[in-house]
Amino acid sequence: MGRSPCCEKAHTNKGAWTKEEDNRLIAYIRAHGEGCWRSLPRAAGLLRCGKSCRLRWINYLRSDLKRGNFTEEEDDLIIKLHSLLGNKWSLIAARLPGRTDNEIKNYWNTHVRRKLLRRGIDPSTHRLLNETAAAHDVNTISFTGAKDAAKDYPIEISLKKDENMKKISVEERCPDLNLDLKISPPTEPSTETGRKSTLCFVCNRGVNNSKECSCCNFAATAHGSSSRQWKQ
Segment 90-107, tens digit of pLDDT: 999 999 999 999 999 999
Query: What is the dihedral angle through the alpha carbons of 212, 215, 220, 223, rounded to the nearest 10 degrees?
Result: 170
Band (226; pLDDT cuts 50, 70, 90): very low
Query: Is pLDDT of 155 > 80?
Result: no
Domain residue limits at 20 = 9-61
Tell me which of 7-11, 38-42, 150-154, 222-226 is least confident: 222-226
Do residue 218 and residue 193 come from a single domain?
A: yes
- Count of residues for the chain? 232
Q: Domain total for the chain? A: 4
- Nearest Cα to 195, choosing from 224, 220, 219, 226? 219
55 & 79 share domain:
no
15 in a structural domain: yes
Instruction: Say whether both 76 and 57 belong to one domain.
Output: no
Residue 100 lies inside a defined structural domain of this protein: yes
Residue 229 has pLDDT above 50, yes or no: no
Mean pLDDT for the chain overall: 74
Beta-carbon contacts of residue 91 (< 8 Å; ≥ 6 apart): 81, 85
Vertex 226 angle, CA 225 and 229, to 5°:
90
Provide the CATH number for the domain around residue 20: 1.10.10.60
Q: Give domain status of residue 86, yes or no.
A: yes
| pLDDT at 214 exceeding the cut of 90 | no
pLDDT for 152 equals 55
Q: Is residue 157 part of a domain?
A: yes
Mean pLDDT for 195-201 is 58
Alpha helix ranges (H) inside the chain: 19-32, 40-44, 50-56, 72-85, 89-94, 101-107, 113-118, 129-152, 154-173, 201-204, 214-231
For residue 124, tell me if it sits in a domain.
no
pLDDT: which is higher, 22 or 220: 22
At 52 the pLDDT is 93
Let me know if residue 129 belongs to a domain.
no
- Does 57 share its domain with 81? no
Three-state secondary-structure class, residue 11: helix
**What phi, psi does 197 have (nearest 5°)?**
-110, 150
Instruction: Give the pLDDT mean for 175-187.
Output: 53
Q: Please tell me the distance from the alpha carbon of residue 190 to that of residue 11, in angstroms, as a whole number.
A: 126
For residue 222, what pLDDT band results from cuts at 50, 70 and 90? Answer: very low
Considering the domain architecture, whether residues 154 and 113 belong to the same structural domain is answered as no
Inside any domain, residue 105: yes
In a domain, 228, yes or no: no
